[in-house]
Amino acid sequence: KAGVTQTPRYLIKTRGQQVTLSCSPISGHRSVSWYQQTPGQGLQFLFEYFSETQRNKGNFPGRFSGRQFSNSRSEMNVSTLELGDSALYLCASSFAGTGLEAFFGQGTRLTVV
């Protein structure tokens, strides 16, 4: 059974640009959650999508957005990139939601210069 797949693995962007990250969950999983991980802040919850609807949202500015498609694949978009957005972005898939076991992808390492 394939795991959670995130693309791309690495990205370098310039301040002010926007970026889109992709996450394909484990087959059959309908929930995708996104996290930002930085050395100082640890794993910070961004949002969760379930059946194409955003069900939970963390405390991030509106520059961070996402969506989920009918096949459960999810994308996360960050607009007007700032240096502080440099982080490892992780997505996790779960069968039914955030109360159940979640499995992480390998992450996308974003560097903003």
Partner 1 sequence: QKEVEQNSGPLSVPEGAIASLNCTYSDRGSQSFFWYRQYSGKSPELIMSIYSNGDKEDGRFTAQLNKASQYVSLLIRDSQPSDSATYLCAVNIPNRDDKIIFGKGTRLHILP
* Rounded least distance, CB 98 to partner 1, Å: 5
For residue 103, state whether it binds partner 1 (rule: CB under 8 A).
yes
Residues 72 to 91: which contact partner 1 by CB under 8 A?
88, 90
Binding piece for partner 1, criterion CB under 8 A, among 16-24, 53-61, 64-72, 76-84: 53-61
| Among the listed residues 13, 22, 58, 65, the single contact to partner 1 using CB under 8 A | 58
Nearer to partner 1, 45 or 79 (CB): 45
Binding piece for partner 1, criterion CB under 8 A, among 15-23, 37-45, 67-75, 79-87: 37-45
Exposed/middle/buried for 110, CB within 10 Å: 0-12, 13-18, 19+?
buried
Nearer to partner 1, 11 or 90 (CB): 90
Q: Torsions phi, psi of 3, nearest 5?
A: -85, -160
